[in-house]
Amino acid sequence: MFNKDIVTAFEQKETPFFYYDLALLQATLDRALTEANKYGFHIHYALKANFNERVLRVIQESGIGADCVSGNEVLKAVEVGFAPEKIVFAGVGKADKEILAALDHNIFAFNVESVQELHVIGDLAKRAGKVAKIALRINPNVDAQTHKYITTGLDENKFGIKTWELSDCLDTIKSFDSLELIGLHFHVGSQVVDLNVFKSLCVKVNEFNNWFDERGYRLKVLNVGGGLGVNYTDPDGEPIVDFKRYFEIFDQFLERKGHQEVHFELGRALVSQCGSLISRVLYVKNGIKKNFIILDAGMTELMRPALYQAYHKIERLSSEQHNEGGVGMLTHYDVVGPICESTDCFGKEVELPESKRGDLIAIRTAGAYGEVMASRYNLRNEIRYVYNDEIA
């Protein structure tokens, strides 16, 4: 993935930093749009996955909409140039100020998560003299077959409206002239790699869609959320996910009523493979039971391994290796960061060429939920980044 010129350029840079390949991002967006356009599907990008300025600009320019989960994300999306009529606002705890900001910008839809939230949005919209467009986020009780921390569509999760609350929702919406129900919203989890999960989701969406239809509601929007998983083990083998198969499933299994639009909220699938965390080996500690590589990047830059035991491919980069045409002897290392926490570990028993202080290490597939989840814990430095066109 990283040719010799890129590695040589990395060698001149201060580490750690996120490297973003905006050309790969563009190619990913092109592929996603080509496949979605076949069926007239609408894509919103989930800003929560990565709101790096340049990444956002490339995505905005592609014409995709935005999926936001905070007032600040709504404001950021507007600032970057996403059309308000393509912005959706989800989130289980929207504060009044955030709702007002979104109303102010006349966004496409609020994905509403409770009866109480309907009352709050209804009241605030009424006072502002606006009509808020609403999609009800229904919790469909579909198991996303992913890590329990990123599962959202089960009864036990805090997200969405439970089925027995739907009549209440409709009564509330009817009681407010300031609320307009435009659709339904679902999101069952993230890093979903078993595509059968999406078939199950479609079956549930069809049931709910019929339920509303039978009651005389002509809903314009079916928003099926995001969640499409990526290949963390082989980022070079599958730099772009199989959008063709993904959208085909929805075309095949989702029963749209003639007038209905289908919307998606993709985060990870669009941005994960274009980002890598580049770091240097600070120390190598050879122990009796274990050998450690201690990096200058830690859980403060990429939290996913510490938080979800997530796997990220770890590679040693070396321009010498390109010259010599080999990698040398392989050794097993626990690759850890410098933070004072035992969970600050990127990988255990990782097979790498014998490494030394100063070697560059790439932690791959870090474009989604990497930089955005960084923290200043241990008073670490602000994140740095490098883009492909700066070193080409």
User: Which of 6, 49, 221, 339 is close enough to bind ligand LLP by CB under 6 A?
Assistant: 49
User: Which of 94, 263, 304, 364 is close enough to bind ligand LLP by CB under 6 A?
Assistant: 304
| Least distance CB 19 / ligand LLP (angstroms) | 18
**Residue 266 near ligand LLP by CB under 6 A:** yes
Residue number with CB closer to ligand LLP (70 or 355) = 70
First-to-last alpha carbon distance for the chain, in angstroms, is 14
| Least distance CB 187 / ligand LLP (angstroms) | 4
Residue number with CB closer to ligand LLP (137 or 316) = 137
Q: Which of 26, 80, 30 is nearest to 53 (CA)?
A: 80
**Residue 113 near ligand LLP by CB under 6 A:** no
φ and ψ at residue 362, rounded to 5 degrees: -110, 130
User: Which residues pair with residue 387 across a beta bridge?
Assistant: 20
Extract the tokens encoding 392. Answer: 């080409």
| Least distance CB 14 / ligand LLP (angstroms) | 26
**Residue 275 near ligand LLP by CB under 6 A:** no
| Least distance CB 3 / ligand LLP (angstroms) | 28
Helix runs in the chain, H state only = 4-11, 22-37, 53-61, 71-80, 96-104, 115-128, 166-174, 196-214, 243-253, 268-271, 304-308, 319-324, 388-391
**Residue 231 near ligand LLP by CB under 6 A:** no
User: Interacting stretch for ligand LLP, rule CB under 6 A, among 23-31, 266-274, 279-287, 358-366?
Assistant: 266-274
Q: Which of 380, 231, 236 is nearest to 300 (CA)?
A: 380
Tell me the torsion sign for CA atoms 209, 211, 213, 217.
Answer: negative
By CB under 6 A, the residues from 173 to 212 that bind ligand LLP are 187, 190-191
Q: Kindly state the DSSP code that residue 160 receives in the 8-state scheme.
A: S
Residue number with CB closer to ligand LLP (28 or 190) = 190
Extract the tokens encoding 86. Answer: 């393509």
Q: What is the contact mask toward ligand LLP in residues 120 to 159, using x (rule: CB under 6 A)?
A: ------------------------------x-x-------
| Least distance CB 82 / ligand LLP (angstroms) | 15
Tell me the residue type at 244: K
Extract the tokens encoding 250. Answer: 């929805």
Residue number with CB closer to ligand LLP (36 or 368) = 368
Q: What is the contact mask toward ligand LLP in residues 320 to 359, using x (rule: CB under 6 A)?
A: ----------------------------------------
User: Interacting stretch for ligand LLP, rule CB under 6 A, among 113-121, 207-215, 263-271, 324-332?
Assistant: 263-271
Residue number with CB closer to ligand LLP (6 or 269) = 269
| Least distance CB 93 / ligand LLP (angstroms) | 13
Cβ neighbors of 223 (< 8 A, separation 6 or more) are 88, 109, 111, 135, 183, 184, 185, 186, 262, 263, 264, 265
| 310 in Cβ contact with 232 (< 8 Å) | yes
Extract the tokens encoding 361. Answer: 């290490």
| E strand or H helix that includes residue 351 | strand 345-353
Of the CA atoms within 13 Å of residue 266, those in its CB half-sphere come to 25
| Least distance CB 340 / ligand LLP (angstroms) | 22
Q: Which residues bind ligand LLP (CB under 6 A)?
A: 46, 49, 67, 90, 150, 152, 187, 190-191, 225-228, 265-269, 304, 308, 368-369
